[in-house]
Chain A
């Protein structure tokens, strides 16, 4: 069993989904972690100055928003679906709706379609006001497949 699936089992036992991020070096470095304190599974990217892409506005780098939406989808698939494998990402399309200010970014994912091998996930990121998303994404993941697709994590 992979370290990630082990920490998934531990997180389930403790009820603290945040422990999932501890097993992923990139999530730790980016300060991206899932949280379920409100009863809803959300993923938060804590603001730190390394996230900036435009120092004049200032605004958070678009690439980091894509990265956190992708992590949001993965955490959702691990936590909310009965998975015994790490989902493999096939592709992601990110729409940038507003420039993201230098504060935390929070995101939520939903499964649009769960197939036997392929899952389509929608994710939406916002800052202070949930009704004003800064970016949205659609992504496809292979689940339960031996295809030579890239691992998501």
Chain B
């Protein structure tokens, strides 16, 4: 599968089809085995402090959760439902008003029950992060597999 076609499918199932990701306008910009990357464009309604225009922590939290989750989906050859178990975020420095934020997540280990991920958010230079995250995901949770959870296997990423 071509890279653009793969990214379009991840965009469709990981952003457009997930109401909160769609509401944030998350753009999938990278998807490969073990890796996920997304972009969040600055919007007035994401602002925490109207005087500075600095983003609230919430949009970053939701984006990093989604991006870590997508990195898990790229690892599953036999898709199963999964859910966030815990998520830690270190806020390293304030996001700059008006600038898009890029998140890059890596799923570096998958066991029978748990997937381990880490992620950084930045304005384009990964060496100058805004936030760092570590997320773990429980595999084989209740419910049926969503297309977002099976898209890694479908695209044979």
Considering only residues 75-107 of chain B, those with a C-beta below 8 Å from chain A are 83-95
B88 touches A91 (CB 8 A): yes
Binding site for A on B (CB under 8 A): 17-23, 44-52, 54-59, 61-66, 83-95, 130, 141-144, 146
B56, B61, B62, B63: most-surrounded residue (chain A CB, <10 A): B56
A93 touches B49 (CB 8 A): no
Considering only residues 31-61 of chain A, those with a C-beta below 8 Å from chain B are 49-57, 59, 61
**Chain B interface: which of A8-16, A19-27, A111-119, A123-131?**
A19-27
State which size class the interface on A falls in.
35 or more
B20 touches A3 (CB 8 A): no
Say if the beta carbon of A143 comes within 8 Å of chain B: no
Say if the beta carbon of A78 comes within 8 Å of chain B: no
Binding site for B on A (CB under 8 A): 2-4, 23-30, 49-57, 59, 61-64, 66-68, 70-71, 86, 89-96, 99, 148-153
B61 touches A67 (CB 8 A): yes
Complexed CA–CA distance, A66 and B58 (Å):
7
- Residue in B57, B84, B142 whose CB lies within 8 Å of A70: B57
Q: List 27 A-B contacts (CB under 8 A).
A: A2-B49, A25-B45, A26-B58, A27-B56, A29-B45, A50-B22, A50-B23, A52-B18, A57-B142, A61-B18, A62-B83, A62-B87, A63-B20, A63-B58, A63-B61, A63-B66, A66-B65, A67-B56, A68-B58, A70-B58, A89-B91, A90-B90, A92-B61, A92-B89, A96-B83, A151-B49, A152-B57
**Contacts A51-B19, A91-B90, A92-B57; A2 near B51 (Cβ below 8 A):** yes
A55 touches B51 (CB 8 A): no
B22, B46, B49, B54: most-surrounded residue (chain A CB, <10 A): B49
Given contacts A25-B45, A91-B91, 8 further A-B contacts (CB under 8 A): A52-B18, A52-B19, A53-B21, A55-B19, A57-B143, A61-B20, A61-B62, A149-B93
